[in-house]
Structure 1
Amino acid sequence: MGKLESNKLQKRTSLLNTAFNLFTTKGVSKTSIAEISKNAGIAKGTFYLYFKDKYDIRNKLVSHESSKLFKHAAANLTQYCLKNNLTLGFEDKIIFIADHIINALNEDKTLLTFISKNLSWGIFREALTSNIAEDDVNFKDVFYSMIDCAEYEIEEPEIMLFLITELVSSTCYSAILYEEPANIETIKPYLFTTIRGIIRQHETAPKAQAEMQ
């Protein structure tokens, strides 16, 4: 990476980190672009070279933070399978990733609040398909790679992912932040059973043996 590109990346990262700190302490509505720029040590006019407005940087932050969660979960899934010499099925891979993300959000309630308050399917789709920062993971590629290795054909995979995402997001928000209707550890078994049910609703014919090899 050249010096110019490196400087651009540093400025973009500084703006993202500063905005995240302000949004999670003051709230989006009470944070101004001037404040973000000043705290990041960047001229206000430079802000607009990277983001349209503060709602654009908010959306990209949700995408960025979601991507980081998926990246860590996918990396841990790979390490777990290698360490234990296991080949997990599609359902078990999804459950593993969901469990890892839930645990991460349980440890970082500030992140959970920020993502849950600002998450929409459009923003989430951006997190699936685009890299906000250089080290972001394109989870859509990971997801479809998992589907390619699944034991069954998956009908409408994006709808399936939407349903699972909405279920996990809303459940985490209530169970982790308010322990309603119970704490997250009590709810997890029921949540994972429901996720498996959603997946099975989208499974169609088993793949041919040749396709699975």
Structure 2
Amino acid sequence: MGKLESNKKKKKNALYTTAFDLFTTKGIAKTTISDIVESAGVAKGTFYLYFKDKYDIRNKLISHKTGELFYDAHEALLQAHLTDFNDQIHFIVDYILTQLEKDHNLLVFISKNLAWGIFKGAFEEKITTETDEDYHFYQSFLDLLALSGRTFRSPELVLFTIIELVGSTCYSCILYSQPVTLEEYKPYLHDSIDALLNTFSEKGDVCP
């Protein structure tokens, strides 16, 4: 990555970081573009190079933050050396839940603002790694599926359903320990994920 591209990336990341901090403390409605650029230390013109308005940066920020979560989970999975597809999915889910337990602001921000169009952008978000290689979580999901030899009806719908299940059912468990703590709920969650994967599996390709 050249110096110019590196500087652009730093400025964009500064805008993301600042916008996230302001959105999760002041709220989106009370945050202005002037607030974001002043805190980020960049010109307002720089903001408009990347974003149309504060709602555009909100949407892209959700995709960016979620994409980073997926990437970190994938990197951790590589170190776990798991070969069974279901085990790999359970590992990724547990990793992401652990991160959201550590960062309630991120959980609330994503859960309150995630809609289908943004969601699709999130798991297709291009993450540039430290080696400047591009990473897409959805493609890595398809790669894991291909290596497993399993086949599913509509892999995109499988991924969407799993993430919707995890997000909607774990939100209160993490924030309020209601109706039970996350640790108490996890066995039921993982049983549900296994059942979901079997439901979407092609005939004759169901795990016991």
Aligned length: 201
Instruction: Output the CA distance in 1 between the equivalents of 2:143 and 2:74.
Output: 12
Alignment gaps of 5+ in structure 1: 82-86, 208-213
Amino acid at match of 1:161: L
Which position in structure 2 is the counterpart of 1:127? Answer: 122
Q: What residue number does 2:51 align with? A: 51
Q: Which amino acid counterpart does residue 127 of structure 1 have in structure 2? A: A
Instruction: Output aligned runs, 1:4-153, within 5 Å.
Output: 4-81=4-81, 87-131=82-126, 134-135=128-129, 137-153=135-151
- CA RMSD between the two structures: 1.5
Amino acid at match of 2:84: G
Question: Are 2:67 and 2:125, in contact at CA under 8 Å, matched by a contact in 1?
Answer: no
> What is residue 157 of structure 2 aligned with on the other side?
159
Larger RCO (CA under 8 A, 6+ residues apart): 1
Normalised TM-score (structure 2): 0.91
Question: Could you say what secondary structure the match of 2:151 adopts?
Answer: strand
Q: Tell me the equivalent position of 1:180.
A: 178
Q: Which amino acid aligns with 1:100?
A: Y
Residue type of the alignment partner of 2:26: K
Q: Distance in 1 between matches of 2:17 and 2:173?
A: 27
1:206 Cα offset (Å): 5.1
Does the Cα contact within 8 Å between 1:70 and 1:137 map onto a contact in 2? Answer: no
When the two structures are superposed, what TM-score results if normalisation uses the length of structure 1?
0.89
The residue number in structure 2 matching 1:194 is 192
**Sequence identity percentage:** 49
Give the SS at the match of 1:28: coil
